[in-house]
Amino acid sequence: MCKQIGHRISGSPQAARAVEWGKETLEKAGCDKVYLQEVMVPHWVRGEEQCHILDAKGNRYPLKLLSIGNSVGTGHTGIEAPVVLINNMDELERMNPSDIHGKIVFFNNYFDQTNINTFESYGPCVYYRWAAPSKAAKLGAIAVVIRSVSSAFDDAPHTGSLSYDKKSPAIPAIALSNLGADQLLHKLQTEKGVKMYIRNTCQMLPDVKSYNVVGEITGSEIPNEIITIGGHLDSWDIGEGAHDDGAGVVQSIEVLRTFKKLGIRPKRTIRAVLFMNEENGLRGGTKYAELAVANKENHLVAIESDAGGATPIGFSMTMSNTQRNKIKSWQHLLIPYGIYNLDGNGGGADLSPLHKKMGTPVMELYPDSQRYFDMHHSENDVFEKVHRRELCLGAIAMSAMVYLLSTYGL
Amino acid sequence: MCKQIGHRISGSPQAARAVEWGKETLEKAGCDKVYLQEVMVPHWVRGEEQCHILDAKGNRYPLKLLSIGNSVGTGHTGIEAPVVLINNMDELERMNPSDIHGKIVFFNNYFDQTNINTFESYGPCVYYRWAAPSKAAKLGAIAVVIRSVSSAFDDAPHTGSLSYDKKSPAIPAIALSNLGADQLLHKLQTEKGVKMYIRNTCQMLPDVKSYNVVGEITGSEIPNEIITIGGHLDSWDIGEGAHDDGAGVVQSIEVLRTFKKLGIRPKRTIRAVLFMNEENGLRGGTKYAELAVANKENHLVAIESDAGGATPIGFSMTMSNTQRNKIKSWQHLLIPYGIYNLDGNGGGADLSPLHKKMGTPVMELYPDSQRYFDMHHSENDVFEKVHRRELCLGAIAMSAMVYLLSTYGL
């Protein structure tokens, strides 16, 4: 999937090929049933993109950039404007609109390196990617530049989704790498009259028909109780979507293959779902929940793997204390495999509609998070960065958890 | 140390530079005392090395190799002989000496990939590097080839130490990469009359004067009780000795720097030791223990970091149950930092003489082990393979443990 198909943003020909690949791979894994769930997905395309710093003397300093996903473009001529440095949202809110109007706002927000669990740094930081463009547009900004949501000190920008607030104009938004952002920051701190030129031609095209891919092993004793496991097939349109979320996709398939290979017939039905459009719309996850409701399905629990393919250290979960305690009673069986952390909250984006609509208890595989945000949504998220043993350990942890849930319920 | 000095085998000019670097770095860290402990170390040099498979038709297939550390060489003309495939030691012991005499023995022993903790695979596998050459020599073999002690499926051979049994002739021993070993295996399984040519000029030169480098923060209340922390300065003569054991060296220094930087005066004396010659002689660790005995020092506990710079997950230890239980009573303080495993046994090679001679309780930082033996003792053990956050977490875990031990004793 990483090397022969490559990156596979929703609506792209590669995403369509990934659907075919997923179907074939689930069939080869020996599933009792493999089928598709049709879903219309957004089709954002990146187009061309370039930017540079322009100092008061007219010198140009080109920077690597990635347009933020779902962003509008600048048009073919691009835009050139003075840059206003904003360190955080409080600072923006104290600004006079006349200081922002017609300018490019640079959100210089840093990924917090002090959390042991880097996912705790991701949330607060991603706000500047997701929501900040509209906040700046409200004050009259004509474009937004962010410091990438990244733990790496390198020259790779990281993309991701934004969402426009409908009350403000949709303005172009781009991400610089940490080193690129440092360069811009240095200019802004040491010189007057610093401008930027940005030109990108990204745009949202009409929705495209696509699919979730589903494979099942039918339960031997309680087939109507479903345990969903899953990851997402789509990726960003750079790199290879190896950790995000090739890892979760192959681990989900591997759980089914493991049961088949070992000849273990689960009591309950195990369903692997390869979701479409997690990255910039969540249409696949939403459709999955809608169909579950429409079909009056009985979902025992659902487990997502969408946090990278590193060594697993636990599962986060959103469920009742009674349910969590039941899972924690199995802790001694999991610790020899390095699964010690069953205390976190979470469940994964693709399962959130199922949890919301049906109240299904949800879980997510929790891998060691030290390296994930170095690569996430960047050109560095490639197959070579996934370690075979670590990836396998994740599949083993999921298989063990699914076996326990299938055998003993929740 | 990795990039400006590079690899630094005992007795080499680089090892001498590493001693200077260590001394300066400990001084800069703000130690109360920095000093050297003189020790004579072996000086093995690799020289030139080449080998190829030679089939019955006279075709040559060159293979990458690394002579095993401490090995004798073949001499300048090299040796050419038929190859005998031996899968394990039992198989060797069942062989008729006439089938081995004058031949090259290929030990095709695999690194066991089924252990979660790869250190459990290292021990049994390393026997084929450490002891097998003399076992084969006893039966008349003229050289030994091993499959590298490596978890990676790649073309990088891994070196390491051997020890000759004095009752058998010392014969040359080399390691092939896993892919190289596969190629040789395939030839041996599919063709008759397969030979190898090996030429290496490695040799053991006279001992060289070198040093352990020691830095101390003097305890404020019980200065005569010493907590030793350490890693080893020397490395193999390939790669950069980044994980093995640049990581342990800089983590040990970082513990002292952290105390100084935070203005925490420890109750007991904390001593960082950068050991010399862990890799092929253990002379530094032995000298350290001898001096501790001679000086009638009082050692509370000693902690080594020599298992790579990956995310720490625990400490292994060799001490009484009462002592282990005291450390385990701090577990709730360590779990938020991912330190959950305090059950393993161990203590590190450089501390083993101290434990043996003085009965000092010993511990070793236990990092996630999934990637370590991919790089260990190979050209791939370079700075770029160490992750800053993971390395820092190891230093943090050691600092926390040292603080608890210094404050509450053992």
* In-domain check, residue A4: no
What residues in A contact B151, CB-CB < 8 Å?
Answer: 389
Is B278 designated active site?
yes
pLDDT tens digits for range A134-187 = 999 999 999 999 999 999 999 999 999 999 999 999 999 999 999 999 999 999
Contact B335 A335 (CB under 8 A): no
Q: Enter the tokens of residue B357.
A: 């001679």
* In-domain check, residue B30: yes
Q: Which helix (H) or strand (E) holds B298?
A: strand B298-304
Q: Are B277 and B211 in contact (CB under 8 A)?
A: no
Query: Which positions of chain A have pLDDT values less than 70?
Result: none
What residues in B contact A118, CB-CB < 8 Å?
Answer: 389
Pair B178, B327 in one domain? no
State the Cα–Cα distance between residues B70 and B162, nearest whole angstrom. 6
Helix A388-408 × helix A247-262 angle, to 10°: 60
Residue with tokens 């249409």, as numbered in its chain: A283
* In-domain check, residue B3: no
Cis preceding-peptide flag for B245 (omega within 30 of 0): yes
Q: Enter the tokens of residue B306.
A: 């020599």
Pair B159, B212 in one domain? no
Pair B85, B103 in one domain? yes
What residues in A contact B340, CB-CB < 8 Å?
Answer: 335, 340-341
- Indicate the DSSP class of residue B329: T
Query: What is the nearest CA distance from A151 to chain B, expressed in angstroms?
Result: 9
- Indicate the DSSP class of residue B165: -
Handedness of CA B2, B3, B5, B7 (dihedral sign): positive
Q: Which helix (H) or strand (E) holds B130?
A: helix B119-130
Pair A264, A400 in one domain? yes
Residue A202, number of CB atoms within 10 A of its CB = 23
From B335, B340, B368, residue closest to A368, measured CB to CB:
B368
ipTM of this model?
0.95
Pair B79, B107 in one domain? yes
From A151, A338, A390, residue closest to B389, measured CB to CB:
A151
Residue with tokens 């009573």, as numbered in its chain: B329
Q: What is the CATH number of the domain that holds B243?
A: 3.40.630.10
Residue B408, number of CB atoms within 10 A of its CB = 12
CA angle A306, A307, A310 (to 5 degrees): 125
Helix A247-262 × helix A13-28 angle, to 10°: 20
Residue A238, number of CB atoms within 10 A of its CB = 21
What ranges in A295-384 are assigned the alpha helix state H?
321-328, 331-334, 352-358, 372-375
CA A227 vs. chain centroid, Å, equals 22
Torsions phi, psi for B380 (to 5 deg): -85, 0
From B151, B370, B393, residue closest to A311, measured CB to CB:
B370
From A116, A387, A389, residue closest to B338, measured CB to CB:
A116
- Choosing from A135, A166, A201, the residue where a domain stops is A201
- Choosing from B169, B201, B233, the residue where a domain stops is B201
Check residue B198 and give its pLDDT.
98
How far, in Å, are A112, B72, B75 from residue B49 at the CA level? Answer: 49, 12, 10
Query: What is the nearest CA distance from B129 to chain A, expressed in angstroms?
Result: 24
Nearest to A407 by CA among A275, A189, A221: A221
Pair B190, B285 in one domain? no
* In-domain check, residue A236: yes
Check residue A138 and give its pLDDT.
97
Instruction: Kindly give, in sequence order, each residue whose CB lies less than 8 Å from that of residue A128, ignoring residues fewer than 6 positions away.
Output: A89, A107, A109, A146, A147, A149
* In-domain check, residue A8: no
Q: What is the CATH number of the domain that holds A105?
A: 3.50.30.30
Check residue A296 and give its pLDDT.
98
* In-domain check, residue A32: yes
Q: Are A6 and A14 in contact (CB under 8 A)?
A: yes
State the Cα–Cα distance between residues B77 and B80, nearest whole angstrom. 10
CA B89 vs. chain centroid, Å, equals 23
* In-domain check, residue A223: yes
* In-domain check, residue B284: yes
Pair B197, B291 in one domain? no
Instruction: Kindly give, in sequence order, each residue whose CB lies less than 8 Å from that of residue A358, ignoring residues fewer than 6 positions away.
Output: A289, A292, A293, A297, A299
Contact A313 B338 (CB under 8 A): yes
Q: Which of A49, A216, A240, A278 is catalytic?
A: A278
Query: What is the nearest CA distance from B391 to chain A, expressed in angstroms?
Result: 10
Contact B389 A368 (CB under 8 A): no
- The residue segments making up the domain with residue A187 are 47-201
- Where are the strands (E) in A46-149, listed by range? 49-54, 60-63, 65-67, 79-86, 104-107, 143-147
What's the half-sphere exposure (Cβ side, CA atoms, 13 Å) at A145? 36
Contact B313 A371 (CB under 8 A): no
Pair B105, B88 in one domain? yes
Q: What is the mean pLDDT of each run of 10 residues along chain B (410 residues)?
A: 98 98 98 98 98 97 98 97 97 96 98 96 95 96 98 97 96 98 98 98 98 98 98 98 98 98 97 98 98 98 98 98 98 96 96 98 98 98 98 98 98
Nearest to B62 by CA among B200, B201, B197: B197
pLDDT tens digits for range A278-334 = 999 999 999 999 999 999 999 999 999 999 999 999 999 999 999 999 999 999 999
Pair A259, A378 in one domain? yes
Tally of domains within chain B: 2
Pair A175, A118 in one domain? yes
Pair B283, B393 in one domain? yes
Instruction: Kindly give, in sequence order, each residue whose CB lies less than 8 Å from that of residue A304, ignoring residues fewer than 6 positions away.
Output: A229, A230, A231, A248, A347, A348, A349, A350, A351, A362, A363, A364, A365
What ranges in B171-310 are assigned the alpha helix state H?
178-190, 247-262, 283-294
Residue A40's SS3 state is strand
Pair B256, B402 in one domain? yes
What residues in A contact B335, CB-CB < 8 Å?
Answer: 340
Q: What is the chain A residue with the closest CA to B336?
A: A116
pTM of the model: 0.96
- Indicate the DSSP class of residue A307: S
Strands B268-275, B203-217: pairing kind: antiparallel
Q: What is the chain A residue with the closest CA to B151?
A: A389
- Choosing from A201, A228, A259, the residue where a domain stops is A201
Q: Are A273 and A229 in contact (CB under 8 A)?
A: yes
